[in-house]
Amino acid sequence: MQLSDLIKKLKAYEKKPDITLIKRAYAFAEKAHEGQTRATGEFYIEHPLNVAYILADLKLDDITIAAALLHDVVEDTEYTQKDIINNFGKEIANLVEGMTKIKTLKNLSREDYHAETIRKVILASVKDIRIILIKLADRLHNMRTISVFREEKRQRIAKDALEVYAPIAHKLGIASIKWEMEDLAFEQLQPEVYKEIRKKIQQSQKEREKEIEKIKKIIDEELKTTKISCDITGRPKHIYSIYRKMQKRSKSFEEIYDLTALRIITDNVRHCYELLGIVHSIWTPIPKEFDDYIATPKSNMYQSLHTVVIGPINKPIEIQIRTEEMHAIAEQGIAAHWKYKGHGSDNEFDQKLKWMMEINELQKDSEDAKEFLKMLHIDFFEDEIFTFTPKGKVIELPKSAGVLDFAYAVHSDLGNKCIAAKVNGLFVPLRATLKNGDRVEIITAKNQHPSRDWLKIVKTSKAASKIKKYITLTQKVPIKSFKKEEEIKKELEAWIIDVDSMSKPEILFSRCCRPIPGDKIVGFSRNMGKVNIHRNDCTAVKKIDSDRKKVSVRWVDSIGRIVEIKVDAENRTGLFAEILNTLIAQSTSIKHANAKPIGNQFVECSFQMETSGLKHLQDLIQRLKKINGVRHVFIGNVSS
Ligand code: MN
């Protein structure tokens, strides 16, 4: 690497770069670092020169390039901040100073160290975003030359890259730095896995190139009749990202890498959509795999159309379609944006950096580094969501995870007994999904147990395996404390009421003893085809007039029957919602819900809903009874 290479590169994108400034900065740095060598054996100046070159790759301005050349001068040589101000002015001096301030104390725990580093990077960069860009370039060059360091240092630098700097690059949308840093770090941290994936990629390379050529020809042919020009290229997949996908989705290399990835770059937004139409007319798109990040850009400014189609050899192809400017932003993120819009009072630009200001605010409030790091994580990793227990413990889940996944992630007992949850203070049913930052309180019931239906709801393998384990266990081993088989059979047969000797009687449940499904009952027929149902042990039964005819009655199970449940409770805020949510949590389809105040202290809530049988109804009643303030739960038309 020579200074002339850097100048050549700078001239290629800057209209009137201050070459004298670059030359002066280089000469100053070279003199300041004179006699210093890097672990690689090269002269020290090689490092700032390469850092400057990485920034020139991102097409940054001459001021940034000059500051990059000088970035280690104050830190590592006898020159001071004042010397930089005197020779290069305040703007460059501030950038160099920002870099110097990022140095973090070494004797911190790993977590604290990360939090502190990110905090300092952000703190420095709030003043000038270019500081973070120089820092990333600095780190990237360290990663590129990592092999010369001793083992322990290599591990540390690689971990920092993966856990701190790559996420920052991602957040700023600088994909080019993120990918390279991740792959370099991964190679250090898991060399065997890295080599294996790389080998597999190389083995299938030729075949893949052939397929891409084929696809290109077909699209080009189709475009002949249009005025659209575009550039179609195969998209390299990054080793670490393949590895992450394999891990996350528990899939093999072949399943992940089997997708051919293609990128189409064109000149304007209209052509993007036209190309999408053309691609979809040639090959069948896979539903749900289409994303329009042009209409709704990602939070790191990324814009593109994504689709997956079944390609010419009957295999899925991932296709991204975008304009050149979108591509620059996809690869260089904030750096490209900075170049297009410049800094200063650009509203859109400010908006993009709002998260940085928010983090800056947050770090002022955070009591300790860990708390801050926890909050940072929420912001930094988009694919995962971070949720919290009521005590503030972080539970990391995949994006689409729900209440049950959360419960099982905390503890399998919590999962097995989960009936619903409170998310940020509000009741949600079992099947509710969670968002980043949700505070989740799991609500349990002693008599709850996992069902097969749960397997359809959960997203994490952990939850699924625990549910399966529970189901197999309880199927094989009869649990003695359960009711005798005969009793269970009887119960299953018994819902709602079958009355001997009468066809379609009107059933009235007595108010005195309020029988609920499963209770031993007795019936008394009245005129007009009505039957009063009492519990066997009801004291009123003895007093009943002899002119009322005792009839034989029993509960009959009837799936899908509409029942009315009434809940008599002390009135309080949120009660109705809580009851409703308890019912929803049991996958009950509710036809009608109503609440009627009784005086100013009580309320009667009634619900008409479909049940899936006697057991279901019994469960519901048990749960409703546990709700704070509930006095009675009864069913159906209550007789006076
Ligand atoms: Mn450096």
Q: Answer yes or no: are the C-beta atoms of 25 and 88 closer than 8 Å.
A: yes
Ligand 1 centre to CA of 345 (Å) is: 30
Q: Say what the pLDDT of residue 211 is.
A: 86
Is 75 labeled as catalytic in the residue annotation? yes
pLDDT of residue 487: 43
Residue partners of 148: CB distance under 8 A and separation at least 6 = 38, 39, 40, 41
Is 578 a known active-site residue? Answer: no
State the average pLDDT for the chain.
Answer: 80
Distance 137 CA to ligand 1 centre (A): 9
Q: Give the tens place of pLDDT for each residue, 501-533.
A: 666 677 777 777 777 777 788 888 877 777 788
For position 502, what pLDDT does the model report? Answer: 65
Contact by Cβ (8 Å): 82, 97 = no
User: How many CA atoms lie less than 13 Å away from 64 in the CB half-sphere?
Assistant: 29
Selected catalytic residue, list 30, 42, 57, 76? 76
Q: Which residues have their alpha-adjacent CB atom under 5 A from ion ligand 1?
A: 72, 138
Distance CA 629, CA 575 (A): 8
- Ligand 1 geometric centre to CA of 78 (Å): 16
Per cent of the chain over pLDDT 90 is: 25
Residue 300 clears pLDDT 80, i.e. is over it: no
Catalytic member of 5, 34, 75, 221: 75
Q: What is the pLDDT of residues 417-447, one digit of tens each?
A: 888 888 988 888 888 899 888 899 998 887 7
CB 459 within 8 A of CB 400: yes
Question: Which of the residue ranges 37-41, 81-85, 101-105 has the most confident prediction, judged by mean pLDDT?
Answer: 81-85
Least confident of 392-401, 470-479, 489-498, 631-640: 489-498
Q: Find the 51 Cα to ligand 1 centroid distance in Å.
A: 8
Rounded CA gap, 206 and 203, in Å?
A: 7
pLDDT band for 352, please (50, 70, 90 cuts).
low
**Burial letters 373-407, b for 16+ CB under 10 A, else e:** bbbbbbbbbeebbbbbbeeeeebebeeebbbbbbb
d(CA 329, ligand 1 centre) in Å: 25
Amino acid, single-letter form, for residue 74: V
> Torsion angle of alpha carbons 52, 58, 63, 65, nearest 10°?
10
Most confident of 4-8, 227-231, 331-335: 4-8
pLDDT in tens, 557-607: 655 566 778 898 988 777 777 787 788 777 666 767 777 778 778 888 888
Ligand 1 centroid, distance to 72 Cα (angstroms): 5
In whole angstroms, what is the distance from residue 192 CA to residue 173 CA? 29
**Ordered domains of the chain (ranges, CATH):** 3-187 (1.10.3210.10), 192-336 (3.30.460.10), 386-476 (3.10.20.30), 497-555 (no CATH), 562-635 (3.30.70.260)
* End-to-end Cα spacing for the chain: 96
- Which pLDDT does position 184 carry in this prediction? 96
Pick the residue with more confidence: 280 or 606?
Answer: 280
